[in-house]
Structures are given as C-alpha cells and as structure tokens.
C-alpha cells in the first residue's frame, strides 16, 4: 500500500458544523457501524493500517455529566505514542485521538471472521454428534421397550 501524504485536520481549513452526521446516528445505527468490529484492550497491539472506530468520553461543561460520542474513525497510521495518543487518517486528512479518553474498536480481518465462523461450526458439529448419540440411545431404549411389550 502506497502511503499518500495527508493534511492534519487542524490545518485543512475545515469548518465543523454544529451537528455532524456521526452525532445524528441512532444507537441502532451505531451498533450497525460496529458490526465486524471488536473492542480493543490495548491499542498499541493493533497492527498499523487497521480500521479503527471509537467512542470519545467527554464531560459536559454545563452539567458535569460524562457523555460518550461515537466517531466513525479511520486507518491507524501512527501508534508511536500509543500510551498518550494515536493518529488516524481517512486518506486525505489525519488527526490524533487521545487514548485516555477513547474506547477503540478494530475492524476484524477476513481471516479473523473466518476463524470465528470455523469455531462456531466446530461447536455446532460437536452438538450434532452429541444429539446423534442421544438419538441412538433413545432408539435402543424404544426397541427394548417394544420387546418387553411384545412379551406381555
């Protein structure tokens, strides 16, 4: 992947609207956006070029109440100071995210999704084997009961 030069969000002249698209997302829409993402315990262990979504926890200046704000995120381009902040990019602009105020979610790779499905399939196969054993056991019991009834 060829890295293209990005502009820092603080230097691009962007005028932030009062309400952004991500602030208008419903809880259901946020959950949909987090499908195929998994919460990250340590951002420093996430590979570069992973797609990251996140929540920022801010304190409301008027009420003092903590609020979680969902962010669509971007590609993890720098984690050299992952104890303090990371840098994300959308390909055109890049921005920093303070680690101590964020909860991060990493997009699962295709292999991670496949591995998860294989694990579920293996669990179902084992359950089917158990149920087949139970069916055979019950069939044997039914046959024994039929023999007992015929003798009477």
Structure confidence by residue, pLDDT tens digits, 52-93: 999 999 888 888 898 899 999 999 999 999 999 999 999 889
Helix, strand, coil shares of the chain, percent, nearest 5, are 40, 30, 30
pTM value is 0.70
Structure confidence at residue 61 (pLDDT): 83
Q: pLDDT category, 140, cuts 50, 70, 90? A: very high
Q: Which residues contact 49 (CB under 8 A, 6 or more apart)?
A: 1, 75, 76, 77
Report the chain's terminal Cα–Cα distance, integer Å. Answer: 80
Structure confidence by residue, pLDDT tens digits, 12-61: 666 766 777 878 899 999 999 999 999 999 999 999 999 999 999 988 88
The total of other beta-carbon atoms located within 10 Å of residue 90's CB is 13
CB 110 within 8 A of CB 83: no
């Amino acid at each position: 992947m060829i890295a293209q030069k990005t502009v820092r969000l603080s230097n691009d002249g962007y005028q932030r609207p009062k309400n952004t698209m991500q602030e208008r997302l419903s809880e259901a829409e946020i959950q949909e956006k987090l499908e195929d993402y998994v919460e990250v315990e340590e951002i420093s262990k996430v590979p570069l070029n992973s797609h990251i979504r996140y929540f920022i926890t801010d304190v409301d200046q008027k009420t003092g109440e903590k609020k979680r704000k969902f962010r669509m995120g971007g590609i993890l381009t720098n984690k050299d100071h992952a104890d303090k902040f990371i840098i994300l990019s959308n390909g055109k602009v890049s921005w920093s995210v303070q680690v101590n105020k964020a909860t991060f979610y990493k997009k699962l790779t295709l292999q991670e999704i496949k591995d998860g499905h294989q694990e579920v399939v293996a669990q179902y196969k084992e359950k089917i084997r158990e149920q087949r054993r139970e069916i055979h056991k019950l069939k044997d019991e039914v046959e024994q009961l039929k023999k007992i009834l015929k003798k009477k």
